[in-house]
Amino acid sequence: MTRLSAESISFAYAGDPPVFEKLSFEPQRGEVTVLLGANGAGKTTLLRALAGQLQPKTGKVRLNGQPMKEMSRREVARELALMPQSELRQTPLSVRDVVRLGRSAHRGWWMPLDSVDEQRVDSAIQSMDLQSIACRAVTTLSGGQWQRTILARSLAQDASVLLLDEPTSGLDLKHQYECLQTIRDLARSQELIAVLSLHDLQQTATFADRVALISHGGVLAFGDCQSVLTAELIQKAYGIEVTVIPHPVNGRPMVIPTGIV
């Protein structure tokens, strides 16, 4: 049974003040947890710490009870996929070949893929609506098509923990919603832990099962949308006055900025 937890972790980049101090956080299986917070609040840093890419100065990140720093990169990659906020396209591989790289955690990058791997690759390509461009070189893609390709690579990894840093940035309206729907469906049907950073509060209210509001070096609030998307907490985290009303269609919190504090 997959578990991921940050236990009282503190982290600072060299020579800088701490990004967060004694932060504890445990996203749940089968749920989409959205990290919200102002620019520079520490969402990317937290995702990278949860993925074992950054080592906290104090405290522990544990994956299935094991301290992550004791695990090899391959052990972590079999369980956990991290989609970065942006990634350079260095070689003109095809879309399909980039998505295939998601299978290397299971096969090793030097081993040929088998039919199960290829099925996973097909399904990830379909989930991100990439069939019609699967043979194109990634260097020729638009920004949104490239974003969907690296998302598909993360899905092909078949990990039980998905950490996605602003997965919808650069996507058009339809693909934003399809992407979030896919992630939510996968989290529910396969009992995955899905943690996403987002800036869009409407998307958050629509798709998040739980929200962690990151501010001032810690988790300011953690709970369902109703309890976190409040005018008071949003103002504290973002420094802007808002009014929160029920959405006229789905009844979820709708955050309307009313002024800069």
Ligand X SMILES: Nc1ncnc2c1ncn2[C@@H]1O[C@H](COP(=O)(O)OP(=O)(O)OP(=O)(O)O)[C@@H](O)[C@H]1O
Q: Which residues would be at the binding site for ligand X (CB under 6 A)? A: 13, 16, 19, 37, 39-45
CA distances 204 to 221, 239, 259, 260, Å, are 14, 19, 21, 21
Of residues 35 and 205, the one with the C-beta less far from ligand X: 35
Cα Rg of the chain, angstroms? 18
Q: Which two tokens stand for residue 174?
A: 């339809």
Of residues 45 and 160, the one with the C-beta less far from ligand X: 45
Of residues 169 and 226, the one with the C-beta less far from ligand X: 169
Shortest distance (Å) from residue 85 CB to ligand X: 6
Shortest distance (Å) from residue 37 CB to ligand X: 5
Q: How far is CA 29 from the centre of its chain?
A: 14
Phi, psi of 18 (to 5 degrees): -60, 140
Q: Which residues of 29-54 are buried (b: 16+ CB within 10 A; e: fewer)?
A: bebbbbbbbbeebbbbbbbbbbbbeb
Shortest distance (Å) from residue 152 CB to ligand X: 22
Of residues 157 and 215, the one with the C-beta less far from ligand X: 215
Helical pair 173-190 and 143-156, crossing angle rounded to 10 deg: 10
CA distances 73 to 37, 66, 97, 162, 198, Å, are 29, 13, 21, 15, 26
Phi, psi of 137 (to 5 degrees): -70, 135
Of residues 12 and 137, the one with the C-beta less far from ligand X: 12
Of residues 102 and 217, the one with the C-beta less far from ligand X: 217
CA separation for the pair 126, 186 (Å, rounded)? 13
Q: Does the CA dihedral 160-165-169-173 come out positive or negative? A: positive
Shortest distance (Å) from residue 86 CB to ligand X: 10
Shortest distance (Å) from residue 238 CB to ligand X: 11
Shortest distance (Å) from residue 13 CB to ligand X: 3
